[in-house]
Chain A
Amino acid sequence: MSTAFPSFIDRRTVVDWLGIAPFMIFALMFLIVPTLYLVMGAFFTPDGDLTFNNIADLFTPSILSAYWISIRVSIASALGGAVIGFFLAWAIVLGGLPGWIRSSLLTFSGVASNFAGVPLAFSFLATLGRTGLVTVLLRDWLGFNLYGTGFNILSFFGLTITYMFFQIPLMVLILTPALDGMKKEWREASEILGASTWQYWRMVALPILWPSLMGTTLLLFANAFGAIATAYALTGSSLNIVPILLYAQIRGDVLHNANLGYALALGMIVITGISNVLYILLRMRAERWQK
Chain B
Amino acid sequence: MKTSKILAWASLAVGLIYFFVPLIGTLEFSLRMRRGAYSLDAYSTVFSDIQFRSTFGFSMLMALFTIIFGMLLVVPTAYWVRLRLPQMRPVVEFITLLPLVIPAIVIVFGYLRLYNSSSFIPFTGSTQGTNVLLVLSYMTLSLPYMYRSVDTAMRAIDVRTLTEAAEILGAKWPTILFRCIFPNVMSGVLSGAFITFAIVMGEFTMAALLNRPAFGPYLQLIGANRAYEPAALAVIAFAITWLSMGLLQLVSRFSKTAPLRP
**Interface of chain A, helix or strand or loop or mixed?**
helix
Indicate if A222 sits at the interface (CB-CB under 8 A): yes
Indicate if A67 sits at the interface (CB-CB under 8 A): no
Q: How distant is B21 from chain A, measured CB to nearest CB, in Å? A: 6
Question: Is the beta-carbon distance between B25 and A226 smaller than 8 angstroms?
Answer: no
Q: How many A-B residue pairs have CB under 8 A?
A: 255
Quick one: which of B22, B24, B219 has the most chain A CB within 10 A? Answer: B22
Indicate if B73 sits at the interface (CB-CB under 8 A): yes
Indicate if B85 sits at the interface (CB-CB under 8 A): yes
Candidates A34, A119, A247, A276; contact of B233 at CB < 8 Å: A119
Question: Is the beta-carbon distance between A127 and B22 smaller than 8 angstroms?
Answer: yes
Indicate if A38 sits at the interface (CB-CB under 8 A): yes
Q: Mark A89-101, 1 if CB is under 8 A from B, else 0.
A: 0111011110001
Q: Mark B222-262, 1 if CB is under 8 A from A, else 0.
A: 01100000110110011001101110110000000000000
Q: Which of B77-110 contact A (CB under 8 A)?
A: 77, 80-81, 84-85, 88, 92, 95, 98-110
Candidates A20, A35, A95, A246; contact of B88 at CB < 8 Å: A20
The answer for the CA separation of A115 and B140 in the assembled complex, in Å, is: 19
Q: How distant is A84 from chain B, measured CB to nearest CB, in Å? A: 6
Indicate if A87 sits at the interface (CB-CB under 8 A): yes
Of all chain A residues, which has the CB nearest B242? A111
Query: Contact size class for B?
Result: 35 or more
Indicate if A112 sits at the interface (CB-CB under 8 A): yes
- Chain A residues lying within 8 Å of B25, measured Cβ to Cβ, are 123, 126-128, 132-134
Identify which of A1-9, A50-58, A140-148, A227-235 touches chain B: A227-235
Indicate if A76 sits at the interface (CB-CB under 8 A): no
Interface residues of A, Cβ cutoff 8 Å to B: 16-17, 19-20, 22-23, 26-27, 30-35, 37-38, 41, 84, 87-88, 90-92, 94-97, 101, 105, 107-108, 110-112, 114-128, 131-134, 164-165, 168-169, 172, 197, 222, 225-226, 228-229, 232-233, 236, 243, 246-247, 250-251, 261, 265, 268-269, 272-273, 276
